[in-house]
Amino acid sequence: MSRVAAIDCGTNSIRLLVADVTTGSHGTAALRDVHRETRIVRLGQGVDATGELASEALERTRAALADYTAVLLRKGAERVRMVATSATRDARNRDDFFRMVRDTLGIEAEVISGDEEAQLSFTGAVGDLDPDDGPFVVVDIGGGSTELVVGTLEVDKAAVRAARSVDIGSVRITERCLHGDPPSADEVAQARELATSILDEAFAAVPVDGVRTWVGVAGTITTLSAVAQDLAEYDPDAVHLSRIPRADLHRIADELLGMSREERGRYGGIHPGRIDVIGGGALIVDVLAAALHERAGIDELVVSEHDILDGIARSVA
């Protein structure tokens, strides 16, 4: 048995997984959580408008990473991989980010391509599912990008058929379109048109005909599960492998987009750092639900707590 760690630094959050790795019955790596944590740091604050990482966003990320480094030392992680995604891919001053990571964590952060990000998400997402429920389409909605991956699960091994990452996410669509509190009907219509146009590009590259199960991962989708279940506080055990019908996704998106930030804050299952962007994230999910119904006849979302973090951990197991 060995102990590995994965860090995923996205546009909105930075997340840590420390896990023990054992060999499964088919010779594949099996993970057992030791420590899993999320911090909302909004690294991508203003990147879409300025093209640069804000100094205060870098400092928030550094502080979270310093705490994570202490956890790694306490838990005795033997191998660590840190992946950075959309915000750092887009920033002119990304060298400042890399220098901060080296100084704080002691290793290099990897900026992976959108396609690799999608493949890692798929590998992490489908591990707890029945292979007979495939083929699967896995959707990972981040702050700055959305990944779609189609594939199968065969003898505990994920096989990716097609993957695409596009530049639409909860932070990006909020900063571009959803300025009101709550956003106006015109802002919502503009956001829906933008999301539909960009996601059409993803579906052109990732055909979903024949797909049987839609799996959603990452903070936007897990938060929507907490809202759908009206959880008094976020409960990962209740969220993992929960199912949300398409009609409920549409209703929840309309409700969240019609609320002020203060009203959204009354949901115990929404992390304070997601309150201002969850409406935009819900709109993207609603657009995806309509497209998957039309293209593949899918009417339900399966929510997974396991995602790119688990895929990153498996990659260093």
pLDDT at res. 74: 97
* Helix/strand/coil for 114: helix
**To which residue do tokens 């024949």 refer?**
210
Helix axes 114-125, 308-315, angle to 10 degrees: 100
Q: Which domains does the chain have, with CATH numbers?
A: 2-114 (3.30.420.40), 126-303 (3.30.420.150)
DSSP bridge pairs for 137: 150, 214
pLDDT of residue 219: 87
User: Which string of DSSP letters, residue by residue, matches 167-180?
Assistant: S--HHHHHHHH--S
pLDDT by residue for the chain (317 residues), tens only, comes to 799 999 999 888 899 999 998 865 545 567 889 999 999 898 988 887 899 999 999 999 999 999 999 999 999 999 999 998 767 877 899 899 999 999 999 999 998 876 777 778 888 899 788 889 999 999 989 888 898 999 998 766 778 899 988 889 998 999 999 999 999 999 999 999 999 999 999 999 999 999 999 999 988 999 999 999 999 999 999 999 999 999 999 999 999 999 999 999 889 899 888 999 999 999 999 999 999 999 999 999 999 998 889 989 988 87
Closest to 150 in 3D by CA, of 221, 207, 222, 220: 207
CB burial class (10 A; 0-12, 13-18, 19+) of residue 117?
buried
Contact 61, 100 (CB under 8 A): yes
CA dist 62 → 2, 109, 139, 229 (Å): 27, 13, 28, 34
